[in-house]
Amino acid sequence: MRPFEGIRIIDVTHVLAGPFAAYQLGLLGADVIKVEHPREYDQSRDSGGDHALNREHMGTGYLTQGSNKRAITLNLKHPKGREILKRLAAGADVFAENWRSGAFPALGLGYEDLRALNPRLIYCSMTAFGQDGPRGPQTAYDQLIQATSGMMATTGTPEVNPIKTGSPVIDYATGTMCAFAISAALFQRERTGVGQYIDSAMLDVALMLMGSHITNYFRTGHEPKPRGNRMDRASSQLYQASDRGVMIAASNQGQHQRLFQALGRPDLAAQSSPEERERLYEQQTAEMDRIIAGRTAEEWEQYLQSRHVPAGRVRTLGEALKDPQLQSRRVLHEHPKLDGVEGPVTVPQAAFTFAHGGPSIETPPPRLGEHTEEVLLGLGYTKEQIAALREEDII
């Protein structure tokens, strides 16, 4: 039995952070019902490099985190659509939304509205800046939060900055943080019997990802500078091998000593105190540049790892996905066939395993509104009523 079997989540989120949070809980057994407008559906359905999938509203941006969900369509601009959503929330455990601050309360779908129907409900709101404060009404996406939070200013090189990270790290971190918060609230409810309201902000998450920078700034007043692939210690940064880059991460004193012993430089191995490593950074870096250039990155990876020195060549995504380690970890899941999709689809699953009852994928990402009739029948609507709702453009 997986942890969240028997838990129902109403997922009224879109794009990335919200759907990813619900996806992680769905992997652990929750019944996730994804709610979308019949025409103004989740824009991730139209995103990704496979344009044929985009035309089918099954873009890779959506497929990535659509498994183990049921999908319904509801027009929340219509009173009947809102009434259906309230009926869903009345029997749910979790309600998640990531629309502009104040949007759902304005529709009569805020926490207090739904709490009156279901005091045990966990209601999670995900916004750019939170529900209140000077920026509360503002909206944003991952790249804007990277800029606003100061993260972009720390990324890049002294010559080329600021730079956005290559992947939407704030979105994924927000989704992960919200999945954690929802899990904690469900655990709390088991003890108290009372629901909870979760106010999550992408800006707050971005700051958590820069925690050590923040503490150092308040202590010293020093802004973190973009340093590219050069770091604070010569034994822990990127070097250019004869063919490509190799990242060496000999961070602590013991690793520093093992690194330079392996390189035949016991004199540099002895220079291992934090003060020495800082003072002799340029000298040690110059020597490392000279030594590492003499072999390929793969050779250095094998040689140093065999001597318990963290090191690895810089890989492309394609190379990383071919690593046999991924097969042993069950990080990826392949859907051999999806309705309306030609060929198999491989998606990330979870970043952890359990000894038993862990994350797993049972059902493929649903098409737009695929389970609308099924869910409404479960709420007590008749087939005739459902047909009428469809005629009125409510579903």
Q: Which residues are catalytic?
A: 171
- CA atoms of 326 and 147, how far apart (whole Å): 32
DSSP letter string, 116-141: HH-TT-EEEEEESS-SSSTTTT----
The set of residues, in sequence order, having a beta carbon less than 8 Å from that of 310 and lying 6+ positions away, is 248, 249, 250, 251, 255, 304
Name the residue among 178, 198, 179, 202 with its Cα closest to residue 129. 202
Q: Taking a C-beta distance cutoff of 8 angstroms, is the pair 322, 302 a contact?
A: no
The answer to whether the CB of 17 falls within 8 A of the CB of 126 is: yes
* Cβ atoms of residues 358 and 61 within 8 Å: no
> Which residue, 360, 352, 344, is CA-closest to 50?
344
Q: Which two tokens stand for residue 101?
A: 């601050």
Query: Which residues, at least 6 apart from 151, have a Cβ–Cβ distance to it below 8 Å?
Result: 145, 165, 170, 206, 209, 210
CA 346 to chain centre: 17
State how far the alpha carbon of 22 is from the alpha carbons of 29, 34, 91, in Å: 11, 9, 17
How far apart are alpha carbons 325 and 15 in whole angstroms? 30
Reported residue count of the chain is: 395
Report the SS3 class of residue 332.
strand
